[in-house]
Structures are given as C-alpha cells and as structure tokens.
Structure 1
C-alpha cells in the first residue's frame, strides 16, 4: 500500500509541481507527517524530490526529471476505460471526443494492456439514471458546461419552486460556475457568487433543468480566478445532504397506515424520510400514525403521496387535502360507472 502511495506522490509532483505538504496530505489521504516521511523515502530511492519554503514553496522534482512510472497496469487500464458515463458524455456534447480519446489511448497501449481495457468494456456498462425515469437533457447544459471549462462567470435565470402551492418564482443571479454534478440522472451546477459575500461563502447549487436563461455575465471579459483549494467531489459530498434538505420547503401532515408507513421510503425524497419518521406519533386504535412530511412543494407531495392510495390521508395543508378529495371523487365516478 505504501509503495502505491509513493508512486502516486511522485506522479502528483510530476504533474503539479509545488504542491504543499497539506495539499499532498489531502490528495493522498494521509497526515502531513506521513507526507514528509514519504518524501524522504522517495529521495532515498533516487527520486530527486526537493522542498522549498516560503509563499511559493512546496515539493518539486528536480528540473527536467521525469518518472518512469507512467506505464499502465492492466487493472489500471480496465478502470480508466470504465471512468466515463455514456449518458453524461452525451449530455455534455462530448461523446465524439471521448470516443476519439479512447481510440487514441488504446493505440498507445501494449497488446496485453489493450486486451484488458477492451475486456472491461465488454463486461461492464455504467447507466446512471433510474428505471422508467430517463430525464431529458437540459437544453442549456452544453452552454453551461462550456462556461465551466472556460471559468467564465454567467448570468443565469432560475425557476425556483414556489412555497405552499405558489407558482415558481424566477430569480436571476451572476455566478461563477465551478462544476457540474450528475446525481441520479439529474444535473446540478455548483456555483459561487463573485463577491463571495452571500451566506455560506457564496456557494449555491442549482438544478440545471430549472435554468431558464443563460448569458455571459455583464462586464466579465476575463475568466474568473478559481479557488485553488476547491475540490468538486469533496464539496458535493459535504454539502449535498444539506442541499437536498434545503429543497424541502413545504410540510404536509398525514395519517398513514402501517403498510403506507413501510412504503414511505419508496415514494419520498431520501432526505425527507428520517425527519418524517422521527415525527411519527404512536399508532392509534386503528393502527394509524400521524406524521409531518417535508416536501419540495405541494405539487411534488401530491404526485408522491398519490402512489400510496388509501394508505395515506392528507390532513394539512387544506389546499392539498382538497386536491386529494377531488381526485378521489374523480376515481369514484370513473369506477362507479358501468364499463361501456
């Protein structure tokens, strides 16, 4: 395990000279003390690693030195050929470029390694979206992706879901698009406001399919300066749960049967389930429990809870209860009539 880490450290210094001990520690998932020991081990092995102090300091390889550790192992080639999601590449307009890159890479591999890579493609295919819910590609996604590549600030208009049944409200903001994330078939843009003065450091996450307009930010002729410490994967991991909860702006009070309670995780947003179950009362004489369901909107709650049929009764808010009463009357009229 340490040998693999030393190889990775040498490759990191070759591709990104000047990494600090703290940056290397984050990349290698070890302590800074371990980084110092590993640098000494590389020096003893003949790899000319040197450290420099000061604001521009960090770890470097000697000028002109190139490691000879870049030959792919068959297992590494297998992993590399599995690293792209076909749907994501298509949505971003990169399918042709990715296919060309794979052909070029395959042409440079040794025959044994090339066979391993081709074998992985024959055995594994990554299909991210869920069954029966293939989402359309957001029309503005390719343009937003180009802004991400170019570090170009944009002005975007976003349809924010309304609260308590109100219609969606459109907001317009100037943001710096730091990255795009594909989560369960839905694209999200991770952005920061240029001044960074908003709460939470100015970081905001938007569903790309709710972006209604996109244009270059007024007066932003030059690329914005990215935060060098920003890590998209780490950012998403730490903030996605909070983002999912922030979407749940409506509370619906319901009475649910035991069967309906068991089915709640299958119909609700994942972030809503723990809070909903925590609010559940003790079963009444009929075995029914009352609980508060966090939901994105009344419209979303209606679609989700309709799947439970008679196993759920909406108590509040009143407009949502009225919608279920209307739906029940429509179904009673439909099924009470003699089939034609």
Structure 2
C-alpha cells in the first residue's frame, strides 16, 4: 500500500513540480506529516526529492532527473479508455489504477505538452447515470469485471423478471463474458453461452448485472476462453438495442399530426418507433396535417406520449384510445371552466371591495 503511494507521489512531483505538502496530502489522501515522511523515504530510496520554502516553493525532483516508474501496466493502459467515466471506474474498482495510469502518462510527456493533455480533462466530462435516480453499483460487478478482463468463463444465476406479477424465476447459465455496458446508469454484461454453437443467434445473451444473484468460476474452466477476434462490443450492443426496442412495439396507433406535432414527435417517442411512423406518413392535407401509423409498447404508453403533443395530435384508431383522449379533453375542459368561473366571481368581489375603499378614501 505504501509502496504504491510512494510511486504516486514521485510521479505527481515529476509531472507537476512545485506541489506543496498540502496539495500532495490532498491528492494522496494522507496528512502533511505523512507527506514529509514519504519524501524522506523517497530520498532514502535514491529518488532526489527536494523541498523549497517560500513563495514558489514546494517539492521538486533534482534538475534533469526523471523517474523510470512510467511503464504502464496492461490493466492501467486499459483503464485509460474509461478515464472519462469516473463513476464507471469506481463501480468497476479501477479508480486507483486509472489514476496511476494518468500520472504515469503525464510524467512521460514533455512539460510543453502536459497542459494540453490536462486541458481535455478540464473541458470534457461524461456523466453516465440518468437524472432523478441514485446510481448503485451491483454487488457482483467488480468480480464480473475481473472475469471480463481475464476472459474467464463463469457460472451465473440470473433472476428473470416475473410475468403477470409472479415472482422472478432464477436461471443458471455457464457463459463467456465478453463485455460490460453502462446504459443510463444500469450495468449490462454481454456474454455467450458456453457450448451454444448450434443456436441461431450464436448463444449471445445480455444480462442486467443487478439481476445476477450469484457468480462463480465455471466448473472445469482452468484456462481463459478463446475470445472471438471479430467481436465488436459497440456494434453488437447497437444492433441488439435496436432489435430489442422493436420487440417492445406491440401496438399500432393511427394518428393525425399537425406540422408542429410532426416536428415534436421525435422528442416524445423512441427512435425506432419514429422511423417506422415517418415511413408510413401520408402526404400533408390542405391544412398541412399528416396521418401515420405509430408503433407503441401499449395503449397506455401511447396515451402518455401523445398527450404531450396536446392539440397537435389527433388519435384516429384504435377507438378505445380515441375514447380515452375524448374523456381527457372533456375532463380538462370542465376543470378549467370551473376554475374560470371561480376566478370571475372573486374578481367581482375584489372589484366591489376596491370601489368601497375608494369611496371611503374620498370621504376622508
């Protein structure tokens, strides 16, 4: 533990000469007294660390000296590709490795290039989790990540969502985990069922990590599995996401949209549904309205989505959904009619009170 901290301290001083004890203590999460002791330990190990007092002082390495502790470990190099995802690194248990990797990389750069390299960190940040939801890392995520890094087959137990209010069903599978994906704050693992070569889909499966209830090394798997060189995680996920989104669209709604409604449709409906709907759109009528068939998950989902378009959308079919919109419109009209009548009555009372006040003021 201390050895790793000493390496980080030496790299910090090399990449950012003049750091004070207070700054080093904050970076290394130790006390300033420990910084002083660690600096002495580095000197005893042959690394020429020196401290200077006063304005512009701090810790420096002897002129011309550069530590040779800058060779990247493979795991550190891999984490550089995730350096813009601090929450993901933390969930995977790779924060320390990523921090050390960035320090090593910074230490290898010429002073003139360090500021350019660090500027990207100051200017770009990716916050993956969704709003209004406290992200929670699944308990088995770090262990699963180690299996992904080392190409180790695992046996996992997965809780399938129950149907019709039934309890989740537990299923066990021996899989080869190919990659992890963080989507809107939720972790997924893309894996291939071991020995599933005869299946039409090749045995590829995607599991939500927070539904994995148990994880263990695959029985008899002593060696890493042979990863398919042609596998592209990003392309696989994109294709799978599009296919999954379309399987959810089980209902079709015929709707007439104004030009404004057509323009706002992509803001309230998922991309796959929008593409199919636009492909079915008719030629605009004399009023500029188009009629199209909109795929949706259900009538409830379609009702919530199209309600956001207000009077820019008119549902033509199914009749049951059109009836729901008629009932909603009638309820809103009645609500606002009552509210308007109340405000008028209050307005008359206020007027009478104001007129009486003016009379009293005139009498004074």
* TM-score, length basis structure 2: 0.56
Counterpart in the other structure of 2:189: 189
Structure of higher RCO (CA pairs closer than 8 Å, 6+ residues apart)? 1
Larger radius of gyration: 2
1:156 matched to 2:158: yes
Alignment of 1:4-23 (within 5 A): none
Q: Shift of the alpha carbon at 1:121?
A: 1.7
1:309 matched to 2:310: yes
Alignment of 1:118-133 (within 5 A): 118-128=118-128, 133=131
Q: Shift of the alpha carbon at 1:267?
A: 1.5
Does the 8 Å contact 2:135/2:185 carry over to 1?
no
Q: Structure 1 pair 187/219, CA: closer, same or farther in 2 (3 Å)?
A: closer
Counterpart in the other structure of 2:84: 84
Q: Structure 1 pair 310/101, CA: closer, same or farther in 2 (3 Å)?
A: same
Per-residue Cα deviation, 1:277-312 (whole angstroms, up to 9, x for no partner) = 111233445543332222234443333222211222
Q: Shift of the alpha carbon at 1:82?
A: 7.9
Q: Shift of the alpha carbon at 1:269?
A: 1.0
Counterpart in the other structure of 2:256: 255
Per-residue Cα deviation, 1:126-148 (whole angstroms, up to 9, x for no partner) = 34467xx45542553x5245324
Per-residue Cα deviation, 1:228-275 (whole angstroms, up to 9, x for no partner) = 323323433454433433343333332222221121122211122221
Counterpart in the other structure of 2:204: 203
Does the 8 Å contact 2:255/2:291 carry over to 1?
yes
Alignment partners' CA distance in 1, 2:248 and 2:322? 22
Q: Structure 1 pair 255/117, CA: closer, same or farther in 2 (3 Å)?
A: same
* TM-score, length basis structure 1: 0.59
Does the 8 Å contact 2:180/2:188 carry over to 1?
yes
Q: Structure 1 pair 288/120, CA: closer, same or farther in 2 (3 Å)?
A: closer
1:147 matched to 2:144: yes
Q: Any idea what SS the aligned residue of 2:277 has? A: helix
Q: Shift of the alpha carbon at 1:313?
A: 2.7
Does the 8 Å contact 1:251/1:294 carry over to 2?
yes
Ranges in structure 2 where 5+ consecutive residues have no aligned partner: 1-69, 344-364
Q: Structure 1 pair 226/147, CA: closer, same or farther in 2 (3 Å)?
A: farther
How many residue pairs align between the two structures? 257
Computed over aligned residues only, the root mean square deviation of the Cα atoms, in angstroms, reads 4.1
Q: Any idea what SS the aligned residue of 1:189 has? A: strand
